[in-house]
Chains A and B, each alone.
Chain A
Amino acid sequence: MIEVRDLKRSFGTHCVLDGVSFRIDAGESVVIMGRSGGGKSVLLKHLVGLLTPDAGEVLVDGRNIANLGERQMLEVRSKFGVLFQGAALFDSLTVAENVGFALDRSGRFTPMEIAHRVAEILEMVELPGIQDKKPSELSGGMRKRVGLARAIVHRPSIVLYDEPTTGLDPVVSDSIDQLILRVCEQMKVTSIVVTHDMRSARRVARRILYLRDRRIYLDAPTEEVFASTDSAVHRFVNGISVPKEITF
């Protein structure tokens, strides 16, 4: 279970999050949507302790992680798996070394066990037999799949996805969405997906949090969001711009 209470965060004089609050229960599949540069990724990084808030609380299974030190956070982070926007694979390591990284670092598995688990998880993300490839040899979609394999290999209870379909063609995007659903169902994990891809949000979310003007503007089931008559929500889900509001 994750609960965020009145989270505030600024970078210099630029306020990104101003009183964000929500709760996500175990096993839920939730999408956080919002405009580019609206603070979605910043919010996601607070959930796993990569950023510390200026004010407010982030509770993971009832424990406030907002003020934990880096070494105390390592223990909390073993509950998480994170798929980064650009996959963030380690360039110097092979696919097998990337995927088996968490298992190897834990010191609890033999090389044979790690190899077996890596092969199993690569099979799950439909990329069997690429253990010896380097990240530079992979396409964008393959990198995302390997990133996902690395995120779930240690069987986390919460998986965070930062823009999982950004930069991918619609077919590959769909396959990533299917994978997110499969991981959620098979591994019974809590999924939190940050995206502004509405097709993807509709496919993977049971509930949507709409981040707007530095706060959670709407927290509702997926179908309710897509059927919303609120002008801001309607414009966002249908991709309708208002020229005078463009702030990029």
Chain B
Amino acid sequence: MLDLGGFALLAGEVLRSLVSVRPSLRDLVYQLYFIGVKSQSVVLITGAFTGMVLCAQAFFQFQKIKMESGTLALVGVSMSSELGPVLTGLMVAGRVGAAMAAELGTMRVTEQVDALRTLATHPVDYLVIPRLLGTLIAMPLLTVEAVAVGIGSAYIVGVHFLGIDATYAWAHMLKYTGKIDIMMGIFKGICFGMIIALVGCYKGMNCREGAEGVGHATTEAVVTASIAILMSNFFLTMALRGLFKT
């Protein structure tokens, strides 16, 4: 409960800062580079292999009922609306959320956060806002990238290794993967980005003293963000599907 109260206070301070303070462009660009560019390899590998294994499994099941050409349709819908954003979120939570908690936690225990405050700078303005904006911009882009690579990899595996007819597979995928699936993936990417940045920053800025405290904060940031992503994904799916009646 204390955590939830503190988290709500941080979220309120972030909102206040977003409307009143202009973030430093230099800090924002650095965060975009760290979160977006440096996460490329992790996200690409995750997207590619998830797409490939999903294609293979779907093919083996569809083969039993002679529906192999529907394989890519299943991959397209699953990757766009569920697996793409969720797996990207989990990977970014592990890489970026942990780094945020560790960096801010170390700054806190070495009094650098106190030093910021004595230099008339609000820690939320200087430390949280660039990280939050960087994650909010990078996450949907990384999600789209993971989805595209996943579907591309599935196409290669399905058509070239498993022998699915390319024309039918492609046509079925386009028919069943709607704009709503893609928009849902992008929207979830933004939501998950917000969760990762806020949880990572909150855990870092509230970590206990010493190396053990920083270690705990880092672990808690990853675990909390991952669970929040998985839980919110269900509610987001139900809400968005209900909203668009699909």
Footprint of B on A, CB under 8 Å? 45, 48, 50, 70-71, 73-75, 77-78, 80-82, 84-86, 88-91, 101-102, 105-106, 150-151, 154
Q: Which residues of the partner chain A approach B117 to less than 8 Å between Cβ atoms?
A: 50, 70, 73-74, 77
A62 CB to closest chain B CB (Å) equals 20
Chain B positions 89 through 124: 1 when the CB is less than 8 Å from some CB of chain A, otherwise 0: 000000000000000001100111011111111100
Footprint of A on B, CB under 8 Å? 13, 106-107, 110-112, 114-122, 126
- Contact present for A84 and B114 (CB under 8 Å): yes
- Contact present for A88 and B112 (CB under 8 Å): yes
- Contact present for A85 and B120 (CB under 8 Å): no
- Contact present for A150 and B110 (CB under 8 Å): no
Name the one of A48, A70, A71, A91 contacting B118, with C-beta atoms under 8 angstroms: A48
Q: A84-B111, A91-B106, A105-B120 known; 14 other A-B pairs, CB under 8 Å?
A: A45-B114, A50-B114, A50-B117, A71-B122, A74-B117, A74-B121, A77-B119, A78-B120, A88-B115, A90-B115, A91-B107, A102-B119, A106-B120, A150-B119
Q: How far is the CA of A222 from the CA of B225 in the complex (A)?
A: 55
- Contact present for B114 and A105 (CB under 8 Å): no
- Contact present for B121 and A85 (CB under 8 Å): no
Q: Which residues of the partner chain B approach A71 to less than 8 Å between Cβ atoms?
A: 122
Q: Which residues of the partner chain A approach B114 to less than 8 Å between Cβ atoms?
A: 45, 50, 82, 84, 88
Q: How far is the CA of A154 from the CA of B119 in the complex (A)?
A: 9
- State the 8 A-B residue pairs at the shortest beta-carbon distance, nearest first: A88-B115, A88-B111, A82-B118, A102-B119, A74-B120, A78-B120, A84-B111, A77-B120
Q: How far is the CA of A68 from the CA of B82 in the complex (A)?
A: 46
